[in-house]
Amino acid sequence: MKYTFKKNKNHNINDLMKKSGYIFHCTTEGVLCYHRYLDTHKFPRFHVYIKEVADQIEINMHFDQRNLNKKSNHNEPWAYVGNRINTEMKQLIDSIKNNDPLKKVNCPVQYSIQKKKSNKPKQNLFDLFF
């Protein structure tokens, strides 16, 4: 999915992308590449290419979903369209234009697994059998 908008003089792409939760990956021929992971794993993730052309910023986004064969999904149409991409692109554009942090709608809540503490006293094997 592509989106182009007029560049604001206050726009610093690296700062805005970082604030939006994206991690810088590389630069290829003047195009900046960023990722945003859905959780702690490398895949799936949103993959964004950004380039500045005159007074315009062009964003090209797709969704990377690593399959079992470890092949790229860049040729798959579903990686560029759909509600997930539409929602993420809208949030990213709003974040960039308003200079606000990106809401984590597409990211799962990070649950910490904690054992409930028991108020019962611990018993040893001797106490259980005798």
Query: pTM to 2 decimals?
Result: 0.68
Contacts of 23 (CB under 8 A, 6+ apart): 34, 35, 36, 37
- Sequence spans of domains, the chain: 2-129
Q: Is 92 exposed, middle or buried (0-12, 13-18, 19+ CB in 10 A)?
A: buried
State pLDDT tens for residues 11-70. 788 888 888 889 999 998 889 999 998 888 888 889 999 998 888 889 999 998 875 566
* Type of residue found at 1: M
